[in-house]
């Protein structure tokens, strides 16, 4: 069934040094569809259609504090209207007018990293974003692996591609940034500000308010519009389930929701903060979370998706929620009627169901700062190290004093219909000595607390076994890490 399409505002962006204005682009049209079918820019490929393979990677640019910020994203699951007012690069835009290749392209040629042509453009775009962001900082093997974590190689193997990423800075500079581009983006921003904002009575098409008050008013007026907050999951509804949306309400331009505010006892993460930035804020307080943050999807997904979108989606295999639950996070829901705050785990009422009213949006996630005596870890078990969905995710936070567990908080994913808190296991640990006897009893409790299903990722029995094993791993690691963690936390608190 084809839904009636509401009128959309013109879509304007800068590409290839020129201003593009497209009319009547449907609200649910993906960026990849727009590139290939409307602009006939076919260098960008359609592979998996779900942000896993990277063949569709493009680079976006926005002005922040007068400086151009670039990032690689998956165009297959990004809505076209979300790039309004931005700069956009595809593989067609990188070479100089005289034919000189971009350093990323030249390095791939020299290192024999070029493939059949299907996946290479995506690698080139991820490398171009890395080249732009690195500046004069040397690109290392590790930073190259992170930048290419969302790109799948089907032919040559990763070694020559990683070699190229590390060597591309040896080529003559060819930055994406320029004074002319910044002027174009400033002009676009001025013209967007001069446009009349959509009114509450307007037929919804693609609405992208920039203030929280406007978002809440539009949400009240259009409760049936599809909320998007990065679209890394909703995009799959379009590409895989062929859903259509007569109206879309985009939260990612709301200034108040794009902020990270640090307070003495907690940090407040706006729901529209990109996953990459949200994890950076969490890692700043708890450096031990870095390896987990790097395993959350691929970099292009983290560059587009938002923490609020991951939380509000309510998937039982969403990786951020077990961690946030274990850290004791609260969420703030907002509407024109006011605000209400609750523990994150209280948001979920069933499989992908929440207690949010139709006129509410998720506004903030409040994460407590670390305290003395805290021991926190999070573990992800999946078939692939990077860019994969968890079979089990377990996050634990214990406060230990004089060898006794004074407080325990445990979040689990992949083992129930919702992200869940392991309350029975927490009770089994509370006020008990932190020793092997306590841990082995708690392992049995944890395995019995959930009844996970069997699916393509893992059997229910495997998941139960892994739950207990991860608690045992946590215990083993704590024997060498407890004192180190507490000492490091003392230093950070003193600073």
Q: Which two tokens stand for residue 401?
A: 């004093």
* Helix axes 103-110 and 120-134, enclosed angle (nearest 10): 120
How high is the pLDDT of residue 8?
Answer: 84
Task: Give Cα 5 distance to the centre of its chain.
Answer: 29
Q: Who's near 190: CB < 8 A, 6+ residues apart? A: none
Query: How many Å apart are CA 261 and CA 492, to the nearest integer?
Result: 18
155 and 263 part of one domain: no
DSSP-based three-state secondary structure for 495: coil
How high is the pLDDT of residue 404?
Answer: 96
Q: Which two tokens stand for residue 339?
A: 């605000």
320 and 446 part of one domain: yes
Q: Is residue 197 predicted with pLDDT exceeding 80?
A: no
- Judge contact between 282 and 296, C-beta under 8 A: no
Q: Are strands 11-15 and 87-89 parallel, antiparallel or unpaired?
A: parallel
298 and 439 part of one domain: yes
299 and 406 part of one domain: yes
Q: Who's near 165: CB < 8 A, 6+ residues apart? A: 104, 107, 127, 130, 139, 144, 147, 148
Question: How far is the CA of 166 from the CAs of 93, 121, 269, 475, in angstroms?
Answer: 22, 17, 34, 39
DSSP-based three-state secondary structure for 192: helix
pLDDT tens by residue, 231-287 = 999 999 999 999 999 899 999 999 999 999 999 999 999 999 999 999 999 999 999
Residue 162 placed within a domain = yes
pLDDT tens by residue, 133-160 = 998 899 999 999 999 999 998 888 899 9
How high is the pLDDT of residue 5?
Answer: 55
At residue 204 the predicted structure's pLDDT band, cuts being 50, 70 and 90, is low
Q: Is residue 297 predicted with pLDDT exceeding 60?
A: yes
Report the percentage of the chain scoring pLDDT > 70.
Answer: 93
Q: Is residue 314 predicted with pLDDT exceeding 80?
A: yes
How high is the pLDDT of residue 246?
Answer: 83
Q: Which two tokens stand for residue 82?
A: 């979300």
- CA atoms within 13 Å, Cβ hemisphere of 307: 32
At residue 452 the predicted structure's pLDDT band, cuts being 50, 70 and 90, is very high
DSSP-based three-state secondary structure for 360: coil
DSSP string, 109-158: HHTT---SSSSHHHHHHHHHHHHHHHTTSPPPHHHHHHHTTT---SSS-H
Residue 217 placed within a domain = no
The overall average pLDDT reported for the chain is 92
At residue 198 the predicted structure's pLDDT band, cuts being 50, 70 and 90, is very low
Q: Is residue 86 predicted with pLDDT exceeding 50?
A: yes
271 and 419 part of one domain: yes
Query: How many Å apart are CA 472 and CA 9, to the nearest integer?
Result: 56
- Residue 267 carries which DSSP code? E
- Judge contact between 350 and 214, C-beta under 8 A: no
How high is the pLDDT of residue 487?
Answer: 44
Q: Is residue 132 predicted with pLDDT exceeding 60?
A: yes
267 and 124 part of one domain: no
Q: Is residue 489 predicted with pLDDT exceeding 80?
A: no
For the beta carbon of residue 116, count every other beta carbon within 10 angstroms. Answer: 9
Residue 206 placed within a domain = no
Residue 123 placed within a domain = yes
- Residue 309 carries which DSSP code? H
pLDDT tens by residue, 30-41 = 999 999 999 999
Q: Is residue 202 predicted with pLDDT exceeding 50?
A: no
Overall number of domains in the chain: 2
DSSP-based three-state secondary structure for 201: coil
137 and 275 part of one domain: no
How high is the pLDDT of residue 191?
Answer: 84
- Give this prediction's pTM: 0.92
Tell me which residue range forms the domain holding 447.
255-494
- Judge contact between 416 and 394, C-beta under 8 A: no
160 and 260 part of one domain: no
At residue 437 the predicted structure's pLDDT band, cuts being 50, 70 and 90, is very high
Residue 218 placed within a domain = no
Residue 304 placed within a domain = yes
Among 126, 144, 170, the domain-final residue is: 170
166 and 268 part of one domain: no
Q: What is the dihedral of CA 206, 332, 316, 245, to 10 degrees?
A: -10
The domain that contains 139 carries what CATH number? Answer: 3.10.20.30
Residue 279 placed within a domain = yes
Q: Mean pLDDT lowest for which of 10-24, 189-203, 266-280, 390-404?
A: 189-203
Match 């500000």 to its residue by tokens: 193
121 and 264 part of one domain: no
Residue 198 placed within a domain = no
How high is the pLDDT of residue 199?
Answer: 46
Q: What is the mean pLDDT of residues 342-352?
A: 97
360 and 470 part of one domain: yes
The domain that contains 312 carries what CATH number? Answer: 3.30.390.50
Among 170, 188, 212, the domain-final residue is: 170
| Alpha helix (H) residue ranges in 206-259 | 212-221, 234-239
Dihedral sign (CA 160, 164, 167, 171): positive
At residue 481 the predicted structure's pLDDT band, cuts being 50, 70 and 90, is low
Query: How many Å apart are CA 425 and CA 366, to the nearest integer?
Result: 24
327 and 447 part of one domain: yes
Q: What is the mean pLDDT of residues 177-182?
A: 94
Burial class (CB in 10 A: 0-12, 13-18, 19+), 96: exposed
How high is the pLDDT of residue 436?
Answer: 96
Question: How far is the CA of 65 from the CAs of 62, 69, 490, in angstroms?
Answer: 10, 10, 34
How high is the pLDDT of residue 155?
Answer: 83
Report the percentage of the chain scoring pLDDT > 90.
Answer: 87
At residue 120 the predicted structure's pLDDT band, cuts being 50, 70 and 90, is very high
Among 122, 149, 170, the domain-final residue is: 170
């Amino acid at each position: 069934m084809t839904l009636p399409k509401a009128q959309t505002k013109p879509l304007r962006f800068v590409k290839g040094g020129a201003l593009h204005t497209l009319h009547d682009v449907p609200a649910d049209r993906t960026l990849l569809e727009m590139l290939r079918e409307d602009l006939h820019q076919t260098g960008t490929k359609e592979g998996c259609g779900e942000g896993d393979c990277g063949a569709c990677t493009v680079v976006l640019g926005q002005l922040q504090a007068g400086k151009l910020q670039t990032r690689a994203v998956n165009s297959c699951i990004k809505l076209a209207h979300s790039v309004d007012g931005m700069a956009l690069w595809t593989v067609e835009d990188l070479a100089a007018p005289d034919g000189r290749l971009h350093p990323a392209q030249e390095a791939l040629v020299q290192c024999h990293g070029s493939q059949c042509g299907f996946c290479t453009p995506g690698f080139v775009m991820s490398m171009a974003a890395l080249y732009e962001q690195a500046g004069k900082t040397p690109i290392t093997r590790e930073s190259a692996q992170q930048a290419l974590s969302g790109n799948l190689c089907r032919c040559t193997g990763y070694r020559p591609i990683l070699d190229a990423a590390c060597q591309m800075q040896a080529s003559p500079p060819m930055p994406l940034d320029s004074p002319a581009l910044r002027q174009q983006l400033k002009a676009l921003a001025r013209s967007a500000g001069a446009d009349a904002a959509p009114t509450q009575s307007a037929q919804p098409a693609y609405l992208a308010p920039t203030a929280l008050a406007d978002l809440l008013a539009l949400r009240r007026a259009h409760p049936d519009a599809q909320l998007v907050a990065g679209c890394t999951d909703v995009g799959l509804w379009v590409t895989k389930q062929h859903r259509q949306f007569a109206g879309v309400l985009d939260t990612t331009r709301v200034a108040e929701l794009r902020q990270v505010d640090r307070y003495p006892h907690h940090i407040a993460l706006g729901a529209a903060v990109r996953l990459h930035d949200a994890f950076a804020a969490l890692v700043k307080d708890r450096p031990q979370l870095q390896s987990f943050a790097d395993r959350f999807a691929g970099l292009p997904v983290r560059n587009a998706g938002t923490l609020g979108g991951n939380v509000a989606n309510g998937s039982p295999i969403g990786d951020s929620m077990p961690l946030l639950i274990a850290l004791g996070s609260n969420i703030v829901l907002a509407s024109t009627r006011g605000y209400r705050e609750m523990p994150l785990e209280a948001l979920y009422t069933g499989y992908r169901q929440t207690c949010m009213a139709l006129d509410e949006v998720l506004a903030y996630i409040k994460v407590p700062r670390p305290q003395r005596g805290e021991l926190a870890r999070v573990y992800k078990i999946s078939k692939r190290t990077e860019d994969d969905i968890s079979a089990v995710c377990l996050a634990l936070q214990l406060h230990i004093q004089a060898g006794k567990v004074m407080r325990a908080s445990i979040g689990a994913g992949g083992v129930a219909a919702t992200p869940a808190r392991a309350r029975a296991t927490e009770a089994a640990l509370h006020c008990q000595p932190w020793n092997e006897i306590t841990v082995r009893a708690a392992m049995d409790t944890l395995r019995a607390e959930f009844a996970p299903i069997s699916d393509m990722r893992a059997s229910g029995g495997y998941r139960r076994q892994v739950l207990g094993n991860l608690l045992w791993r946590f215990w083993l690691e704590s024997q060498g890490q407890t004192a180190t963690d507490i000492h490091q936390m003392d230093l950070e608190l003193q600073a």
